[in-house]
Amino acid sequence: MAGDGYYDFTLKQAIRVFSKIRDIKETSKHQRYSYPEEEFEKISEDCFSSAEDSEINLPEEQPKAAEKREMSLPDETPRKLGSLVTDPVEELKTTASQATQKASGWLIYPGTKWCGVGNVAASDDDLGPEEETDKCCRTHDKCRDFISGGETKYNLTNKSSYVSLSCECDNKFYECLRRANTISSNSVGFLYFNFFARKCFSLDYPKKCKKYTMFSKICSEYVADTLTEKIYLWLPPKKYKKL
């Protein structure tokens, strides 16, 4: 490197100066007077004048070259590095969501994405091969009038662990499945209304007994008491019958 040669050259000049000064001091020990300061200055000028006249210089562009050697990352590097770092909380949420969706898949009626516990649809427009049945289930799932398990609403407490819907929503579901009239729709209707026998709630007149059994005080027939105000009641589900 040019810089190394330059520093070697100046070091040699310095050694020459100090050698001459040392010789002068040794000589001056035997003299009554000290060596004139002008002579020291002249020695220094003579020794270093050759350095000024020499062609050994550091290139002016050397700092620029050093700047060019500085490592610089491309603009897109931070984004690439950022993509490798994942948020543990978000990763856990994603894993839980995938696990829930996989578990729900076992409780969804074959050929549908909305008929069962929850849904496995990617969007509201995502339907399974059993499209007509799935449409009924999708509408039923989106019922806004419901009571969650353990929740109290309208002075009614849902003591079960599943959601109970209004009888209005259940009745629409019932009719939709019957109109579809396919193997899948009738199977879903049988499971929901007959097998699981989901009760619903409705704003209606309270019931009163119309007829008792002959040998006991057990009521065998009820009628609406229209003389009182309507209240929210639990009603048993209909028995599903296909067309």
Write the pLDDT tens digit of every residue in 36-52.
444 444 544 554 444 44
Using only the alpha carbons of the chain, give its radius of gyration.
Answer: 48
Question: Does any domain span residue 62?
Answer: no
CATH number of the domain at 185, please. Answer: 1.20.90.10
State which residues of the chain have pLDDT below 50. Answer: 1-10, 17, 25, 28-41, 43-44, 47-59, 61, 63, 65-66, 68, 77-85, 96-97, 99-105
Q: What is the pLDDT of residue 112?
A: 97
Domain, as residue range, for 108? 104-201
Is 170 marked active-site?
A: yes
Q: What is the pLDDT of residue 74?
A: 52
How far apart are alpha carbons 223 and 78 in whole angstroms?
A: 74
- Sort residue 152 into left (φ over 0), alpha (ψ -120 to 50) or beta: beta
Tokens of 241: 């019958």
Question: Does any domain span residue 66?
Answer: no
Question: Does any domain span residue 20?
Answer: no
Cβ neighbours of residue 205 under 8 Å, at least 6 residues apart?
Answer: 224, 225, 226, 228, 230, 231
Q: Which of 30, 126, 141, 170 is catalytic?
A: 170
Q: What is the pLDDT of residue 243?
A: 85
Q: Which amino acid belongs to residue 10?
A: T
Is 126 marked active-site?
A: no
Q: C-alpha angle 141/106/88, rounded to 5°? A: 85
Question: Does any domain span residue 144?
Answer: yes
In the chain, the number of structural domains is: 1
Q: What is the pLDDT of residue 16?
A: 61
Question: Does any domain span residue 149?
Answer: yes
Q: What is the pLDDT of residue 213?
A: 86
Q: What is the pTM of this model?
A: 0.55
Question: Does any domain span residue 67?
Answer: no
Q: Which of 8, 124, 140, 225 is catalytic?
A: 140
Question: Does any domain span residue 25?
Answer: no
Question: Does any domain span residue 95?
Answer: no
